[in-house]
Chains A and B, each alone.
Chain A
């Protein structure tokens, strides 16, 4: 069935390092992907998205890479800060029809030590 998964449940980095969080998806029909950040006690916060007609998209300190050949998605965070500590989820659209819901992966907990 459709599923989105993450390779590592936890990732620990030092402040200032670059972080890479990976995600594998299984639905080759998905054409829209989003990364979310969830801090303790809060709802998921939109970070960055990418559509399947792109391989890379950059935001402020974050970059998302999409490899459709191997159905792999990654989030790169530059100069990681303690405030980046959170659970990160990747999500894909349930179908390529407009307005469909997102299916979420299992999440990676990022811990940043100073």
Chain B
């Protein structure tokens, strides 16, 4: 299985600021994705992080709010921009091999005051 490291693991932020979450995978994977998990809820796909090109966003998520980078096969960042309390959530990085198995990091728990 892949080892996926995310940082920060948690943060408390002020309304209106932005936070960038980093994700590092220990081996080359084919796909990387970002998910959001609101308190007590399931996981919702935000976007597919594409290497060297713009991410592919799901309905309800836009690049201006959640800019994503993936400069190489093993690293990606997600920025949560102009945060509001509604953005308080766990943000999860995931990575997949060709086999389709999807592995997750431990998540970044964000609290917006």
A interface residues with partner B (beta carbon < 8 Å): 32, 34, 36, 42-46, 49, 89, 91, 93-94, 98-107
Stretch at the interface among B14-22, B70-78, B100-108: B100-108
The interface residues of chain B, by DSSP majority, are classed as strand
Residue pair B92, A101 in contact (C-beta under 8 Å)? no
Question: How many chain B residues touch A (Cβ–Cβ < 8 Å)?
Answer: 24
Are A44 and B30 CB-contacts (below 8 A) given A99-B96, A106-B42?
A: no
In angstroms, Cα B104 to Cα A42, docked, is 9
- B102 (CB) vs chain A CBs: closest residue: A102
- Is A46 touching B31 in the complex (CB atoms < 8 A)? no
Total contacts A to B, CB within 8 angstroms? 54
Task: Verify if B66 is at the interface (C-beta below 8 Å from A).
Answer: no
Query: Would A34 and B104 be within 8 Å (CB), given that A43-B92, A99-B31, A105-B42 are in contact?
Result: no
**CB-based nearest B residue for A31:** B100
Identify which of A34, A44, A100, A105 gathers the most chain B CB atoms within 10 Å of its CB: A44
Q: Decide if A44 touches B101 in the complex (CB within 8 Å).
A: no
Given A101-B45, A104-B43, 7 other A-B residues pairs in contact with their CB atoms under 8 A:
A34-B101, A36-B104, A99-B31, A99-B100, A100-B31, A101-B33, A107-B42
Please name all residues of chain B whose beta carbon is closer than 8 Å to the beta carbon of A43 when the two chains form the complex: 4, 92, 104-107
The answer to whether A42 and B98 touch (CB under 8 A), given A89-B43, A104-B43, is no
A62 to chain B, nearest CB (A): 15
